[in-house]
Amino acid sequence: MAKNGQTKAVAKSQKFLVTGGSGFLGSYVVDKLLEKGVSWDNLFIPRSRDFDLRKREVCTEAVKGIDVVVHLAGIVGGIGFNKENPGSMFYDNLLMGVHLMEEARKAGVKKFVAIGTVCSYPKFTPVPFKEEDLWNGYPEETNAPYGLAKKMLLVQSQSYREQYGFNSIFLLPVNLYGPGDNFRPESSHVIPALIKKFLEARNSNSGEVVVWGTGKATREFLYVEDAAEAIVLATEKYNKSDPINLGSSFEISIGDLAKLISQIVGFKGKIVFDTTKPDGQPRRKLDTTRAEKEFSFKSKTDFYTGLRKTIAWYERALAWYETKFA
């Protein structure tokens, strides 16, 4: 393979390894690959209970006969989870990436798609975040172990391309949300955490909902199906060493987000901000120019529509669970 990594679009007949393929984002990526004509026979989706990707020898087995790796697997969580597990967040995510990419290279994998995180950006990055700003400071403290572990995939990707001509790309999705998200309180991100809180408060006629932080921090959110589309487009069309942001170019404060969710679910009580809890990074909003230029990606789902779909999905899932296990 040439060192510039220029290759043809992904062929339907190629064999794909999708780590994390049974998870939130991964299940949507798998659906998009199937829509593109990739058959189930050409998809390998290892489960974490069977394949511990922190172990080199497991990664060796996982990449045998594989043409394309889409590495989505990771240990992830919200601010609280990150604060409680900084060591394992760093170690587990770092080892998975390092071992998997090295074994993929040695096995002759044709393309490696590494999924990073917006948490890799410096705490005080100018808005909108440009890919060139990635190394201009240290990440926000609660996210740093996770963000830096994932950021090492970029270093590995670029150095492997330079030395070995290995075709690896690095994508930086912003905060994701959508149906099927993680709603477990101990590890969920802000949107599912707030949806769960407001629905429970509405259903129990509670007078208030407590939200972490001041409410002033802002976030950009990308609907999960749009993120999956971007990843598959990049897998097909992008073959360069430069990292690429994946976002929606939409920014909302946590305070406004809480108000919007409360309105959609019909909560009538008071929203209280617990300012003893951390806000996390002050602002997040990505510059998505490069993704549109390189593989024509632009998010399609407006935030209000995506949020309503997510809330409706969770309400249906909750009703099913309560009926099944009542």
- What is the amino acid identity at position 265? V
Nearest CA to 68 out of 121, 11, 24 is that of 11
* Range list of H helices, the chain: 24-35, 56-62, 79-84, 86-107, 144-164, 190-203, 224-237, 254-265, 289-295, 303-325
The strand pairing partners of 211, in sequence order, are 273
The SS3 assignment for 34 reads helix
What whole-number distance in Å separates Cα of residue 298 and Cα of residue 136? 26
- Residue 45's contacts (CB-CB under 8 Å, 6 or more residues apart) are 18, 21, 22, 26, 30
Query: Which residue out of 121, 146, 160, 177 is catalytically annotated?
Result: 146
Beta-strand pair 16-19/43-44: parallel
Is 146 a residue of the active site?
A: yes
The SS3 assignment for 97 reads helix
Q: Annotate 198-230 with DSSP letters as a single string.
A: HHHHHHTT-SEEEEES-S--EE-EEEHHHHHHH
Cis peptide before 128 (omega within 30 of 0): yes
190-203 vs 303-325: helix axis angle to the nearest 10? 60
Instruction: List, by residue number, the catalytic residues.
Output: 146
